[in-house]
Structure 1
């Protein structure tokens, strides 16, 4: 039965601090009905190795070899068949060393067959008092329920029939209406459930949640039907799509991104969307939607002719195919290209996994504004894309070594998103002259083809550029050209001289050696990896007046020592040190006055954390992963000192280097 809380409980076990200290590595993933073995294994491999590799030739073998003799914890959610498990189990070595695999499935027989020797944990429905307690927590947090709402509230909770998901959804409805007895009584009268034995009975309550949404939120929710079940969705991508679709109203008081974030937070507050990952300083990084709600969105999108979703070509491509402005196609693209839809403004092509390239003719899709292709696309198909002159969003996921030069002719394009399984994608230098292009995001990395122009009078609107391989000539060109750039993530193809102080950058990530640099005072987030900076340059960074997040990784320093002087990092809230080579870190008592979170990971040579760090009044947490015993002891000493001063608020998490000993 979906909605009983299997995933919620499993995640609590997975994230339990005491359990984490027991394991060397851990990873979590979701199988779902759309099983993709390679994607799943790559996801697990990247988590246990703390990497982001997409071109591993044999992820099954690589994962098995990496896990040998390690004590690991794997959480595999929503497994639908024993065949899927049999296909995966050989990648997880059993060294009889205390490793554990946690599985969830909504199918009882699948759970029993996977491990016949152990009875699976069957979650029960909530008792009536438990349903009411859960509803009160969702509605009132730590406050008490007003007395005049208690009786009707208990009645509403009782009508949810003990299913936690329904309790949370109904609480989301109640949170959006007037807090009075009459309003709540109307909600109670609209819930008519005698029992809950399958997902079908839950649809009425989900329909109730949808009915009480403001009109501005309904298309935002239904848009989740265009994503795959259990897909983890980047907020940035979602905000770009919502904006282009016209769901995000423009206001003078707020930026488009802040308005989009407000819409998403409203859906989260109503328990319709769930947060997957949070940003370092708050806010949503990624989100997802419950399977049952995703099914509802798919059905409702079809019913309201908001979006046509097809799964098997000949059967689904009925007359309604031609009437919809938004299409999501989950089968071979041959049929879509052959028939076409002159009315379509948005199209998501997500065929099932296959080893061959897909060909589809976009001749009859000329009015598209949004195009997302998640498959290896033939050159002929890609060539047709140049006729899509109205296109504002182009997303390509698959092997793409070169982006054709005609991309620069798409004068209305605002977002270009490319995720390739190869080593990277080469973009034409002419994209810098595209009049409306704002966001360019390439994974793993983009390089540029063509001669860098000496002069260019065209206005450049690019605000986001990630991730790009930079030379000094290209860096100079971008700095002169992209005066609207707010976010830059780059790899240094050669040692760079970065003079970025003329830009209004807010976020910067650099991987590779920097010879000289100057940074803008507008910078709020900075990530440096293998930059080999001297102490003097680190002090320059410490004087940035608006820096909130700083991440230093690998060979960020030239020397083996880091001295943080008086009044440095005045606004810093988050500091992350990962795989650094330094042995000594000193900090002044007048530095880092607003630090809230300190993360130290795999800094094997660093001997201790400065004791003065514990005296920072704003500090909330210190987290140490896979560091040496000396550093761990210094953190424990900081914790003991703070507790002796009566500071019980400081949270300390330590994950030892070798938890198997």
Structure 2
């Protein structure tokens, strides 16, 4: 048995023993903030390269020569080279960032050549947007697009991704931007028409400024949505009924990091008719109340890091199935009210 102790030993061992015949290379273990020269090895037959735990200063051009690659995952702040189109068999592309540092007024895009990669099924590239193609190019096999901003959600772009199932949008509050007055949601009021096949929408606001109340165009979200994740938006709870009204097929709802805010959430009768899982994390909620007929199919309610929450009040139909409620790092006062809810199993956890 040979124990490899350092990245250098990893490099020497792979290069001498198996680099020319390897089909997969997965880099596990602790994150390396300094590059390991895995790109200098001869990986002619490699199909899967997962090196997210290794930092690259730039994306090595040697990797762009491994034309058999179908899966590529790296950590790099550098720009994606135009030679990415050489990887014509690539199905999954993930580029994470070592640090998310942006210059004012500078926006980063993937190269136009990304539209030539017809086998792509998944793109996860934080901080870089899809450019508008200058031809009739489409990505018919792309089902997942994550890490982009609202600039990738124009009708001109989304109509060229007809089978998109998962869309993850990263939005940023920019108080210095006079164009949208710091409202990161201003570009999301026109895109849902092109997303008839969308099943999961993830919408996250970075650096949220809770001085403002943002109006989210829930009526524009596609009714096909089964799962919705919202983070950092800071909407008032009174708007959440719009989700239950306009997204009747929703089965999972995740509200994270002040996605909504305010002391009370009243869930109206007949709201969220198909919801099975509700996760609430990090809010200033004090009272959660479900009116009769609301959440008829809810199986799991997870409430986490809601330190102000004091009461769960849910008028339930006796014929409803049992619901499991998980209270994780919450105000102890909420436990007694949760225990009184009919047909509910209550579990409490604390990290302290």
TM-score, with normalisation over the residues of structure 1?
Answer: 0.43
Does the alignment pair 1:462 with 2:179? no
What per-residue deviation string (whole Å, max 9, x for no partner) do you get for residues 562-600 of structure 1? 232222111111111222223343322111111111122
Q: Tell me if the contact between 2:202 and 2:230 (Cα under 8 Å) persists in the aligned partners.
A: yes
| Corresponding residue of 1:633 | 336
| Corresponding residue of 1:395 | 73
DSSP 3-state at the match of 1:589: coil
Aligned mates of 2:117, 2:87 — CA distance in 1: 8
DSSP 3-state at the match of 1:609: strand
DSSP 3-state at the match of 2:194: coil
Quote the offset at 1:335 in angstroms: 5.9
Does the alignment pair 1:422 with 2:125? no
Quote the offset at 1:542 in angstroms: 0.7
Spell out the pairing of 1:47-126 with structure 2 (5 A cutoff).
none
Change (3 A) 1:577 1:343: closer
Aligned-CA RMSD value: 3.6
Quote the offset at 1:470 in angstroms: 0.9
| Corresponding residue of 2:178 | none
Does the alignment pair 1:538 with 2:220? no
Change (3 A) 1:455 1:540: farther
Aligned mates of 1:458, 1:621 — CA distance in 2: 47
Does the alignment pair 1:441 with 2:144? no
Spell out the pairing of 1:76-475 with structure 2 (5 A cutoff).
331-334=9-12, 336-337=14-15, 341-348=19-26, 356-360=34-38, 362=40, 364-373=42-51, 374-377=53-56, 379=58, 382-396=60-74, 398-423=75-100, 428-430=110-112, 431-442=114-125, 445-448=126-129, 452-453=131-132, 455-460=134-139, 461-466=141-146, 468-471=147-150, 473-475=151-153
5+ residue gaps, structure 1: 1-298, 300-309, 314-328
Aligned mates of 1:355, 1:575 — CA distance in 2: 37
| Corresponding residue of 2:194 | 502
What per-residue deviation string (whole Å, max 9, x for no partner) do you get for residues 101-120 of structure 1? xxxxxxxxxxxxxxxxxxxx
What per-residue deviation string (whole Å, max 9, x for no partner) do you get for residues 240-263 of structure 1? xxxxxxxxxxxxxxxxxxxxxxxx
Q: Tell me if the contact between 2:261 and 2:284 (Cα under 8 Å) persists in the aligned partners.
A: no
Within the candidate set 596, 613, 618, 2:321 is matched to: 618
| Corresponding residue of 2:175 | none
Aligned mates of 1:339, 1:656 — CA distance in 2: 48
Does the alignment pair 1:527 with 2:229? yes
Query: Bigger relative contact order, structure 1 or 2, given CA contacts below 8 A and separation 6+?
Result: 2
Aligned mates of 2:13, 2:278 — CA distance in 1: 52
Does the alignment pair 1:585 with 2:288? yes
DSSP 3-state at the match of 1:610: strand
Quote the offset at 1:384 in angstroms: 0.8
Q: Tell me if the contact between 1:620 and 1:651 (Cα under 8 Å) persists in the aligned partners.
A: yes
What per-residue deviation string (whole Å, max 9, x for no partner) do you get for residues 82-126 of structure 1? xxxxxxxxxxxxxxxxxxxxxxxxxxxxxxxxxxxxxxxxxxxxx
Aligned mates of 1:622, 1:352 — CA distance in 2: 35
Q: Tell me if the contact between 2:35 and 2:55 (Cα under 8 Å) persists in the aligned partners.
A: yes
Change (3 A) 1:569 1:637: same
Aligned mates of 1:567, 1:311 — CA distance in 2: 60
Higher strand proportion (structure 1 or 2) = 2
Aligned mates of 1:347, 1:385 — CA distance in 2: 12
Within the candidate set 253, 268, 292, 1:565 is matched to: 268
Aligned mates of 1:341, 1:583 — CA distance in 2: 58
Aligned mates of 1:350, 1:606 — CA distance in 2: 39
How many positions carry a matched residue from both structures? 318
- Report which of the two structures shows the higher radius of gyration computed on alpha carbons: 1
What per-residue deviation string (whole Å, max 9, x for no partner) do you get for residues 291-329 of structure 1? xxxxxxxx9xxxxxxxxxx8669xxxxxxxxxxxxxxx9
Change (3 A) 1:338 1:536: same
| Corresponding residue of 1:227 | none
Change (3 A) 1:654 1:613: farther
Q: Tell me if the contact between 2:223 and 2:248 (Cα under 8 Å) persists in the aligned partners.
A: yes
What per-residue deviation string (whole Å, max 9, x for no partner) do you get for residues 11-54 of structure 1? xxxxxxxxxxxxxxxxxxxxxxxxxxxxxxxxxxxxxxxxxxxx
Within the candidate set 297, 306, 320, 1:594 is matched to: 297
Does the alignment pair 1:653 with 2:347? yes
Higher helix proportion (structure 1 or 2) = 1
Change (3 A) 1:311 1:560: same
Aligned mates of 1:584, 1:546 — CA distance in 2: 26
| Corresponding residue of 2:217 | 516
| Corresponding residue of 1:247 | none
